[in-house]
Structure 1
Amino acid sequence: MKIYIQHTISILLLIFTSNFVFAQKQSINIFGTLVEEETAQPIPYATVVAYNSETDEIISGTTTDDNGRFNTATANTNIYFEISFMGYQTKTIKEISFLNVLNNNLDLGTIQLSPDNLALDEVVIVGEVSKTVFKLDKRVFNVGKDISSTGVSALEVLNNVPSVNVNIEGEVSLRGSGGVQILINGKPSVLADQSSNALGTITADMIESIEVITNPSAKYEASGTSGILNIILKKEEKQGWNGSISANTGIPDNHSIGGSINRRTEKFNLFSQFGAGYRSLPRDREAINRNLTNGETVFSNGEEFRNETFFNITLGTDYHLNEYNVFTLSGNFAYEIEDQPSETNFSFFEGDNLISRWTRNETTEATNPKWQYEFNWKKTFQDNEDHTFQLSALGSFFGKDQSSLFTDTTIEGENVDSNQRTATDFLQADYTFKADYVNPITEQYNIEIGAQYVINDVGNDFEVQDFINDEYVTNEDLTNNFEWVQKVLGIYATGAYENDTWGLKLGLRVENTDLNTLLTNTNEDNSQNFTNVFPTVHSSYKLGENFSLQAGYSKRIFRPRLWDLNPFFNIRNNFNIWAGNPNLQPEFTHSYELTSIYKIGKASLSSSLYHRYTTDVVERVSTFEDNVTFSTPENIGTNSTIGFETNGKYSPVNWLTLTSDFNFNYFDRKGTFEGQVFDFTGSQWSTRLGSKIGLPADIDLELNGNYQSGFETVQGEQSGFAFLDLGIRKKIFKGKIVANLGIRDVFASRIQERFVNQPTFETYDYSLRGRFITFGISYGFGKGEAMTYSGRRR
């Protein structure tokens, strides 16, 4: 390291004195290109130094640019060159022929560097070790040289963060749960889009730290997510370019091509992504509706498909106006063409007597245009790099033009032939405006204030027609035009004190929700306007370098989603109908958590005790009429949950990593609906065991086993299931090429079963996605690694 520092200082001195030296003698311009020996890829930022052959003193020096090119000048012809870059064998060029000088220019041509595996191993052993720093409402994983020197992607870095797991397809989970929000430098970014695996284009040496937030503070909107990961990039790593292209195939049909490119200069960061493909998602279904009052039963089973052809492209740029102001502008466009054929077989019995048997076929076609755009301005104040103001605006649009045809054909017994068709015209526009101000008053005290305004505007025009007397007639009972507009204004403030041992952070968020729904054909409207206060408290106490305690409280809200509110009927199986409830109220949760994080040798463990108390719980409730089951969400009482969660990661040797998650909770449900009391207690638990094995020849094998127990519901029970995922990955040319083989649900055992047991009726629903096999190959160029995404839609 001292040698590198000496070389750097010497090069800087030479840059300042070069004009004086060259003024005395005529200089020769010497240039060339530096590439990797194995892949012929350019090596940027390598050190090129010219030495005096007699005294071994440094004469001149430079570094290679993004394309591996270098250029230096000297008036001394008695020289030799030494070229070095961390992770590669240093190369010395002593045989330099100045007879090839033309117009004071000498081309050394293309120079190859060989990788130095021993040097890399030495860096891992003696370099800075990655470590986790515990703060008030988050854990900060500082990326050390043990990871950054390997040149892996951001996904591999995330997989080393405690409580975080990344499977072989690049799906990120936190404490065993998906739905993780990933931010780049504290804001949403297309670079954090998991569906396109854009994280594969961010290399480890560009990452400063990763923040893990499991219980968000008042700074984040109260609806929140299961957790937040914030990737902080190094400011000095803006130069360079990287990208990758990939091709994927699979069974059932899962074919795609995609690419990503990212170019960083001193002022601009330009990024682009594109993709196209075709996928098929089959599902097996079974259902039983049993009328206990008259002994009638309807059996149904069949297979559904959702086939999609898709295209998408993303363009964006970060513009660094100066050291303190950065502007970001990005846009994304996607287009999907859907085809959803299905066939369902029905049998109707009275007791043991078959009355009728028929088949219901569906043909559905749809087109879905989508686009999104974002503008962001971040200002950093000169007094402190953490003293910032950020302003952002985000807009998105989604449309669906869908038509369906349903045909019933009698096979046996009474004639039940009938045809129906539906048409859907769906439009959704979302707008988000946000401002955040952070001011670290001192090293111990910090304040944050901000505001956010979100607008959701949706229209869903849905029509059902029955085939009567040789013509289609609109069914007014099932047809509706539903309009939904929700506006949420939130403001927040937090204050924190933190020293080396303990800290306290208090926050308060106020949100006003203005919700309006309207069924235009019946003029039924529902307007709600309510204001809620969401306090948050976080504290931490550090007992040592490897052990810390954190405690937190937050109040959260679940606002009913569009499909929870929209009284739209799904008639694919017209004996099992789902509809939304426009009168649904939001549910509120008080969340308490005590977490311990500790490290023992090569193992890291995190355990939490938590309690959640939820009011106006949204539950799926089924009613039964004329052998038809109607399911709709309703607000039913309260739910009090006490749980324990623990997860760990253990790497006994370099080639093996073991992970595990376990979650158990006991719940107490209380509530009444339409005169029926729903008071009961129950429990639910889940576990996940994973292993990542590094095999010879740069091959990774990954196995993940999952189990989720059954649990009681307000009207019956949900069954448990277990499944296994397997993945194999082969890296070629130091990760420039990656081949992936993935098998999801190896034994096709991820079966979901739901039972409803009531005094007058019983229902049973069965669903299975089945086994998916995917294979993909990807090539990374520039500084980027090849992508590991197998084409799966998230």
Structure 2
Amino acid sequence: MKKILLLCAGLIIMFNAKAQFPGMGGGQKATVTGRITAVILDSLTKQPIDYATVSLAKVKDGKAINGGVTDEKGKIVLQNVAPDEYKLSIGFIGYKTKTVIIKTTPEKPDYNLGSISVSPTSNTLNEVNIIGQKAVVENKIDRLVYNAEADATNAGGDATDVMRKVPMLSVDINGNVQLRGSSVRVLINGKPSGTMANSVADALKMLPADQIKSVEVITNPSAKYDAEGSGGIINIITKKSNAEGVSGSVNATAGTRQNAGAFNLTAKTGRFSVNTALGTQLAYPQESRVVFLNEITKNNVTTSVLQDGTSDWKREAYNGSLGLDYDFNAYNNISTNAKYTRFYNGGPGNSGFFTNNVKSGNIESSTDMSNGNLDWNMDYKLTTKKQGEEFSISGQLTAGKNTNEFINDYKSLIVGMPDSYTASSNVGENKEYTAQTDYVYPFSKTVTFEAGGKAIFRNIQSQYDTGLNQDFDYDQNVGAAYSTIAFNLTKKIQFKGGVRAEYTAINFSNSKNDYFNLFPSAILSQTINGKTTLKLAYNRRVQRPSLAYLNPFLNKSNISFDFQGNPDLAPELSDNMEFGYSTYIKGSIINASVFYRSTKNIIEAINKNDLSSGKILSTFENVGTTQSYGFNLFTSYNPTPKWTLMSNIALNTYEINSREDIKGMNEGTFLNYNFFMRSANSFKGGWNLEFFGVVNSPRYTYQSKTEPMFFYGGAVKKDIFKKQGTIGLNVLNPFKRDLHIETVTQGDNNYQSQNIYYPLRSFGLNFSYKFGKLKFTEKKKIKNDDIKQDQNQQGGQGGMGQGK
């Protein structure tokens, strides 16, 4: 690892020296150049104006020396500007031309103009509809973007609540996320989180909704991305800013279900900026009822065990981050970011224990599941005078520790049957080191080449307090290289394709498992009349099991059945094809797609009979091969300029060709569906009213079926302090306290039913305030997208906390 860090440092010094002193060896003095940055906004709506024309001319002779058009965020960056006095002119059809005089010097070659407002011409003012609100959903060429900050119903919730309203996603009651019926890789700001590697559901509950800016759904990632995620990639963008001066926001929520707080602050002066964020989630202990029924058959004799009780679980989550960014000059940038998260989930429980319909005892239980995780990264980026050329090198360290402790105190009610007391603790540690480099070279305006390499070194350790020689030490190292090329086949047809090679070396318990994979990807996109897009895409993906799947720790926190990971799991491999259609019709959006996916070595939870204990053992296996066909339709319609209706329906089939040695209850083809509906109104005086509803169909695995779920809620919000702040009230499932979810699992000579009565109803009062001047930028980060995340929480299998 030291050699890698030294190599990275050497490369940074070399490229930095070359960029700052391009005449090294020639003795010539380098000419200092800088960049001019601005964001162009509509003066009435305060919305960004894309494709606005910006030109830069010298004041002394009027000679134009640079120019361009703004991007979809209204941003323009003019590179390679020598120190001088300039006139910046902004023009766009329907707007008055605006001119700004600026001056750069060798000491300060960069000039950030911030936001510049341009006014509509007089003959168009009557046609302007002042909405003042960003679209909740945006359809882009390679992804769908859900702008969470524009949805008032998210206030006071966590990331799980946000994910339930993202088009194409389905979220179960535990917070496990699927895209088109398959697992996905979840990133935060384009990079992985160590907490996600342990449990996606827990990680999402740690992140307050008020810190989320948007969620990107990427169904067809290119070869540049790590190949992880059968269904694709979900990228959560948190709120950040890179504004001159000081800016930030404060959010707070008090409610019947949970309390939340979030604070974001940015300070920037010259070329140096600092970003920091703090957040917390405190969920009240609420009584949940959980009923487990387990039946196991041995020698034609069936024994049933019923556990019926309640738990008072609570959740506490804290997170903090600090980011630094510095531009050496117009070509060299270095940034670093560190984030720490801490999560606690657990509490006491009481239940009755019944054997063959006769009460045999009572159980008092206590469960403590906590984890802490640190993510730290360093990124260096070098650009050149050639527009679009870029080289970057990055390093990342992830260190996490999670603890799973439980106590079960069983008091027998049957004469002659002894009491029992069970306690255990398992500590898992995950360390990950990553080095990555990427290079982008534009041969022309329409042809771009990308290439890069990556190395990931992982070590997973799991330690037990049982005194037995059961400690688990697992090494997984991944080396990868990729290249892509994008070009126009015609004026309206674009192509992007590439291939990624990944070599994986696994070592644990004196066993080795090395394998090599190639992951091709290709996408064709055609634009028709500037409003309609057709897309045809193919890619191959992989999902490697993470600690929650691999950990062989025998979890006996539930007295009715045991849970254990499987270190012998093989990775999933999937091939995906998609045809997509999107169009804009008089302000309305229609996005439709059909897809096919074939997955080998699919990983699912299964139940076995443990003859040594006489109980059911829940674990993971590569159960077989699946094929899935699906359809997705998203629509957005504005009946009036201030009223938006949107809906999303997703369908996919589930069918598995299983191994002969694993018995399941679901042989055949089944249909999964997800439906989402939202209505949002804006009124005079800064009032906003929103409603939403989500329907999830029954969910199937080879051995189980989970009954359908329905969520609904609403929010009312009022702008205050001259639109710098808001205050609002939101509600979730107001007419019923509990959400009843039933899951039935049937294996070989065993049967299990699980009924959860989850207290979902909540009311919350929220407040937010923004100060300073906010302008968002994105930084390139490392993306470790190669680990299958826990879709069934290990800790949630035990105790009486299921569903919390």
Could you state the TM-score of these two structures normalised by the residue count of structure 1?
Answer: 0.71
The total of aligned residue pairs comes to 639
Distance 1:561 1:366, change over 3 A: closer
**Alignment partners' CA distance in 2, 1:606 and 1:128:** 19
- Secondary structure at 1:505's aligned position in 2? strand
**Alignment partners' CA distance in 2, 1:738 and 1:299:** 49
Distance 1:328 1:638, change over 3 A: same
For residue 630 of structure 2, what is the aligned residue in structure 1?
A: 643
Q: Quick check: 1:621 aligned with 2:606?
A: yes
Distance 1:762 1:229, change over 3 A: closer
Distance 1:594 1:413, change over 3 A: farther
Quote the offset at 1:748 in angstroms: 4.8
Distance 1:229 1:644, change over 3 A: same
Larger mean CA deviation between 541-550 and 237-246 belongs to 237-246
Q: CA RMSD in A?
A: 4.4
**Alignment partners' CA distance in 2, 1:654 and 1:341:** 52
For residue 405 of structure 1, what is the aligned residue in structure 2?
A: 407
Distance 1:318 1:716, change over 3 A: closer
Q: Quick check: 1:554 aligned with 2:542?
A: no
For residue 750 of structure 2, what is the aligned residue in structure 1?
A: 761
Gap runs ≥5 in structure 2: 1-39, 44-53, 63-99, 104-114, 153-158, 171-176, 178-183, 195-202, 776-802
**Alignment partners' CA distance in 2, 1:512 and 1:61:** 55
Quote the offset at 1:665 in angstroms: 1.8
Distance 1:413 1:668, change over 3 A: same
Q: Which digits, 9 at most, give the CA deviation of each residue in 1:117-164, with x for residues without a partner?
A: x989948599999998965xx2699xxxxxxxxxxx9644699xxxxx
Equivalent residues of 1:745, 1:770 under 8 A apart: no
Quote the offset at 1:437 in angstroms: 0.8
**Alignment partners' CA distance in 2, 1:720 and 1:324:** 54
Q: How does 1:229-248 map to 2 (within 5 A)?
A: 238-248=243-253
Equivalent residues of 1:201, 1:262 under 8 A apart: no
What residue identity is the alignment partner of 1:341?
P
1:483 to 470, 473, 477: 473
Distance 1:388 1:772, change over 3 A: farther
- Secondary structure at 1:617's aligned position in 2? strand
Quote the offset at 1:200 in angstroms: 5.9
What residue identity is the alignment partner of 2:584?
K
- Secondary structure at 1:624's aligned position in 2? strand
Quote the offset at 1:201 in angstroms: 9.4
**Alignment partners' CA distance in 1, 2:312 and 2:475:** 32
1:319 to 323, 326, 329: 326
Distance 1:233 1:140, change over 3 A: farther
Q: Which digits, 9 at most, give the CA deviation of each residue in 1:611-661, with x for residues without a partner?
A: 000111112221235652211111122111111111111122233211111
Equivalent residues of 2:149, 2:210 under 8 A apart: no
Distance 1:694 1:200, change over 3 A: farther
Larger mean CA deviation between 310-319 and 442-451 belongs to 310-319
Q: Quick check: 1:270 aligned with 2:271?
A: no
Could you state the TM-score of these two structures normalised by the residue count of structure 2?
Answer: 0.70
Q: Quick check: 1:328 aligned with 2:316?
A: no
Equivalent residues of 1:309, 1:338 under 8 A apart: yes
Equivalent residues of 1:611, 1:641 under 8 A apart: yes
Larger radius of gyration: 1
Q: Quick check: 1:563 aligned with 2:548?
A: yes
Distance 1:281 1:693, change over 3 A: farther
Quote the offset at 1:452 in angstroms: 1.7
For residue 379 of structure 2, what is the aligned residue in structure 1?
A: 376
What residue identity is the alignment partner of 1:765?
Q
Equivalent residues of 2:162, 2:209 under 8 A apart: no
For residue 176 of structure 1, what is the aligned residue in structure 2?
A: 169
Q: How does 1:258-407 map to 2 (within 5 A)?
A: 258-276=262-280, 278-280=282-284, 282=286, 283-291=288-296, 293-336=300-343, 339-349=346-356, 354=358, 356-365=359-368, 368-384=371-387, 386-401=388-403, 403-407=405-409
Q: Quick check: 1:508 aligned with 2:499?
A: yes
Equivalent residues of 2:167, 2:648 under 8 A apart: no
What residue identity is the alignment partner of 1:376?
D
Q: Quick check: 1:227 aligned with 2:233?
A: yes
Quote the offset at 1:278 in angstroms: 3.1
Distance 1:139 1:286, change over 3 A: closer
Q: How does 1:51-130 map to 2 (within 5 A)?
A: 122=128, 124=130
Distance 1:729 1:628, change over 3 A: farther
For residue 28 of structure 2, what is the aligned residue in structure 1?
A: none
**Alignment partners' CA distance in 1, 2:405 and 2:352:** 22
Q: Which digits, 9 at most, give the CA deviation of each residue in 1:44-69, with x for residues without a partner?
A: xxxxxxxxxxxxxxxx9999xxxxxx
Distance 1:234 1:737, change over 3 A: closer
- Secondary structure at 1:564's aligned position in 2? helix
For residue 707 of structure 2, what is the aligned residue in structure 1?
A: 719
**Alignment partners' CA distance in 1, 2:219 and 2:268:** 32
Q: Which digits, 9 at most, give the CA deviation of each residue in 1:711-743, with x for residues without a partner?
A: 443234332222223333332124322224333
- Secondary structure at 1:563's aligned position in 2? helix
**Alignment partners' CA distance in 2, 1:751 and 1:220:** 39
**Alignment partners' CA distance in 2, 1:721 and 1:433:** 42
Larger mean CA deviation between 328-337 and 559-568 belongs to 328-337
What residue identity is the alignment partner of 2:256?
I
Equivalent residues of 1:198, 1:260 under 8 A apart: no
**Alignment partners' CA distance in 1, 2:58 and 2:136:** 31
Quote the offset at 1:257 in angstroms: 3.5
- Secondary structure at 1:727's aligned position in 2? strand
2:721 to 726, 733, 748: 733
Quote the offset at 1:244 in angstroms: 1.6
What residue identity is the alignment partner of 1:744?
L
Q: Which digits, 9 at most, give the CA deviation of each residue in 1:488-534, with x for residues without a partner?
A: 1111001121253001222100011112233xxxxxx4421111010
Equivalent residues of 1:297, 1:627 under 8 A apart: no
Q: Quick check: 1:657 aligned with 2:644?
A: yes
Distance 1:372 1:442, change over 3 A: same
Distance 1:414 1:668, change over 3 A: same
For residue 780 of structure 2, what is the aligned residue in structure 1?
A: none
Equivalent residues of 1:183, 1:229 under 8 A apart: yes
For residue 633 of structure 1, what is the aligned residue in structure 2?
A: 620
Q: Larger relative CO (CA 8 A, sep 6+): 1 or 2? A: 2
2:525 to 540, 547, 550: 540
Gap runs ≥5 in structure 1: 17-59, 64-83, 89-117, 142-152, 160-165, 205-209, 465-473, 519-524, 786-792
Distance 1:243 1:122, change over 3 A: same
**Alignment partners' CA distance in 2, 1:492 and 1:265:** 37
Larger mean CA deviation between 426-435 and 625-634 belongs to 625-634
Quote the offset at 1:700 in angstroms: 2.5
What residue identity is the alignment partner of 1:741?
L
Equivalent residues of 1:389, 1:436 under 8 A apart: yes
For residue 578 of structure 1, what is the aligned residue in structure 2?
A: 563
For residue 65 of structure 2, what is the aligned residue in structure 1?
A: none
**Alignment partners' CA distance in 2, 1:302 and 1:128:** 46
**Alignment partners' CA distance in 2, 1:131 and 1:288:** 43
For residue 772 of structure 2, what is the aligned residue in structure 1?
A: 782
Q: How does 1:437-452 map to 2 (within 5 A)?
A: 437-452=439-454
